[in-house]
A and B are shown apart, each in its own frame.
Chain A
Amino acid sequence: MVKLCEINQTAAFAWSHDALPLIAAGTLAGVMDDTFSSDSFLKIYDPFEKADDKRLLFQTSADAKFHSLAWSKPTDTYSRGLLAAGLENNDIQLYDVGKLLKDNSTASTKLSKHSSPVLQVKFNPLQQHILASSGTKGEIFVWDTNKGSSFTPGRAMSPVGKVSSLSWNNSVSHIFASAGDTGYASIWDLKAKREVLQLTYSGVNLSVVDWHPSQSTRLVTASGSDLDPVILTWDLRNSSTPEKVLKGHRKAILSLDWCHQDPNLLLSSGKDDATMLWNPVEGKKLAEYPSLPNWVHQTTFAPRLPDVFASASLDKKIVVQTLQDTSPPVSSKVGGSNEDDFWNQISSTDTQQPVFQEQQAPAWLSRPVSATFGFGGKIAVVQTVDDKSTVKVVTIPGLETIDSSAKALAD
């Protein structure tokens, strides 16, 4: 398995929240491809479709190139979710995915308020109709997508520059974080209508921010500077110093995604063309995935299928792959007996494999309870309390006799 598919587009992307998710990809702003085309497209792919020519489900041209895409969870109004696009022409476009896919319609709603390109769009995880958007010149808006209305998050502590990263708190709906080129990460409280905290770390430019999947005071930031490409984990209850400093990237970090099903897993990618997997709680690097031929500007878990993630590179590639790979090393796959065999086989074999520092099983596979029947009405039970498991063998009254006759038959 490992690599599920490759999408040949330089694009900003977003996963849908389906059991088998789709990927929306919009032509990335700020980069020219080899044709110097200024055309922009929104495309929706099924990455689980095996046939290359059937993978593209929908395509439409857009008014401008994309800086970011966000895909809401399904709601009563939008059965397949709402897609929000932050565009280079200062607009936000909203697409009803159900209509796109069903009627092939290209109808969209435009939200115009930014006075500069819209760099980031993010749906609130607790209230799907609330969208935050950010741009250059410190512009941040919070939208009610049902009404099309917007407001600003309030007073900043100091002048804000370009805001290229936004993240909503996953448990407190009126808190979000932003980061960009000012050096620090900002925490905003929409109830207090102001910026309530700033995080700084010895001159490092904190340009990417993402919240812990469930603990409201924890978040992670990354440095967009080639000089000090570190990932920092924070607990806001002690916001003066980071908890963990994760070193491993060789150049600026461009993207972070903290896994929602397992807080012990974090993805990162950057200008060193690398995608890495970390345990941010213990501060350990777990794996490095095969590098792509250019900057990896975005890496994201499939929200409901975190065994799978996608990484997008400036080299016309979005790679969809699995977290784990237990296939044997390439050397044993192509160990042909003579020289010709070796070259024949190696040319047709995918020689790039992830390098695992440590095999860490994800939380979603770790079953904490079990009960299985044996003969004679006996049942073996596993129960787990506070990460300690106990095993019991219990006889279910009344089952003993029925079972022994069943056993006599089976013998």
Chain B
Amino acid sequence: MVTISNAHDGLIHDAVLDYYGKRLATCSSDKTIKIFQVEGDNYKLIDTLRGHEGPVWQVSWAHPKFGVILASCSYDGKVLIWKEEGDTWSNIAEHSVHQASVNSISWAPSEYGALLLCTSSDGKCSVVEFQADGSQKTIVWQAHAIGVNAGTWAPPQKENISERRIVTGGCDNLVKIWRFDAVQNTYVEEEALAGHTDWVRDVAWSPSLLSKYYIASASQDRTVIIWTKEVGEKKGAWKKQLLRHDKFPDVCWRASWSMSGNVLAISGGDNKVTLWKENLGGEWEEAGEVDQ
């Protein structure tokens, strides 16, 4: 286990491992991003990335086939793209279409290209495509009445790679599913799922390719809802199920699926990270807690 204390001069909002589990990126209210090398129980600070003018809320590693690339988003309304070449990190691109805090970023499945989903307090989402020649193509759309807190991509459909979906969660308490419409060249609302009674803080679409889609939504209302739908069914409705019947002790800030998609980690405002698994009867059971 690696433990890093006092890494930043402010609250840390996100920490993400790269594809190989060798690099850890952290970001903070101190406006900086730090890159650590982690190996066994040891860690080493590689670089501190400065460029944002506000707290940095999230970081996200691009698929390695695009290079060693990290995206970051901030209260300053900007998304910055960073690249490591040799041992040096530099800012290679900026995406600033939002008029308020950018709260989450998520790289699309690499099959789609270098596409980054950004969600903002201005109620909009944007998908920016970084093309090989250095140019950017951007799609922006109004997603929630206000405040989009999180968004992630559906796993790619092996048979139908052009069918792209996104899930978002907002301050209107809704979880929304969006489908890319190639004709209109934008994302159209497929579903608005109501169930939470307060802000949706995070949404996570399970990366596993099973017969069902799984989405976890974590909320300020101290609940987590698992939304499921049969993959084949076009018209089928999303089913909702509370992850746990009573409320969590505190705000549910974050939901994250393991890479194989069968374990869900929920981070609560009480600093507890609980792990959850679906049993054979389709019920969700707590499968332990990440040690303090």
Contact = CB atoms under 8 A, between A and B. Distances in A.
Contacts of A387: 11
A377 B21 CA distance: 10
B258 A369 contact: no
B153 interface: no
A392 B4 contact: yes
Interface in B163-215: 171-173, 197-199, 201, 208
Given A325-B100, A391-B3, A394-B1, A366 B121 contact: no
Nearest to B8: A389
B29 A366 contact: yes
Interface stretch (B12-20, B131-139, B223-231, B236-244): B12-20
B160 interface: no
Given A20-B146, A365-B75, 5 more contacts: A2-B99, A19-B172, A367-B201, A370-B15, A394-B1
A48 interface: yes
B24 interface: yes
A304 B197 CA distance: 11
Interface string A365-376: 111111111111
Given A19-B173, A391-B7, A1 B258 contact: no
B254 A369 contact: yes
Interface in B134-151: 145-147
Contacts of B257: 373
Contacts of A392: 1-4, 290
B198 A19 contact: yes
A371 B258 contact: no
A158 interface: no
B76 interface: yes
Given A369-B269, A384-B11, A361 B29 contact: yes
A399 B275 CA distance: 11
B259 A370 contact: no
B121 A393 contact: no
B55 A373 contact: no
A393 B11 contact: no
A367 B253 contact: yes
A307 B170 CA distance: 13
Query: Is chain A's binding surface mostly helix, strand, loop or mixed?
Result: mixed
Interface string A298-310: 0000001101100
A393 B14 contact: no
A390 B2 CA distance: 10
Contact of A369 (B5, B198, B271, B275): B271
A326 B3 CA distance: 35
Interface residues of B, number: 74
A267 B75 CA distance: 20
A379 to B, nearest CB: 6
B254 to A, nearest CB: 5
A184 to B, nearest CB: 39
A367 B258 contact: no
* Size bracket of the A interface: 35 or more
B15 A403 contact: no
B267 A369 contact: yes
B24 A402 contact: no
B26 interface: yes
Interface string B276-292: 00000000000010111
B173 to A, nearest CB: 5
B98 to A, nearest CB: 7
Contacts, number: 207
B258 A372 contact: no
A399 B260 contact: yes
B290 A379 contact: yes
A350 B7 CA distance: 42
A380 interface: yes
Interface in A1-37: 1-2, 19-20
Contact of A381 (B13, B55, B262, B290): B290
B121 A389 contact: no
A289 to B, nearest CB: 14
Contacts of B119: none
A389 B28 contact: yes
Of listed B19, B28, B78, B145, residue having the most chain A CB within 10 A: B145
A96 B125 CA distance: 37
Contact of A308 (B38, B146, B288): B146
A373 B21 contact: no
B5 A390 contact: yes
B57 A372 contact: no
Contacts of A371: 254, 256, 265-267, 273, 290
Contacts of A325: 99-100
A368 B269 contact: yes
17 contacts: A307-B171, A324-B101, A361-B55, A365-B57, A371-B267, A372-B14, A372-B254, A374-B19, A375-B259, A376-B21, A377-B258, A383-B273, A384-B271, A390-B5, A393-B24, A396-B263, A396-B288
B11 A389 contact: yes
Contacts of B88: none
Contacts of B113: none
B13 A327 contact: no
Contact of A367 (B6, B13, B77, B291): B13
A305 B254 contact: no
A39 B19 CA distance: 68
B94 interface: no
A378 interface: yes
Contacts of A379: 256, 265, 273, 290
A372 B54 contact: no
Of listed B17, B147, B275, residue having the most chain A CB within 10 A: B17
7 nearest A-B residue pairs (beta carbon): A326-B77, A374-B17, A389-B12, A406-B260, A380-B15, A1-B122, A393-B2
Contact of B100 (A322, A389, A407): A322
A385 interface: yes
B53 interface: yes
Contact of A374 (B5, B16, B26, B291): B16
A198 interface: no
Given A326-B77, A396-B263, A305 B13 contact: no
B20 A373 contact: no
Contact of B17 (A19, A328, A367, A393): A393
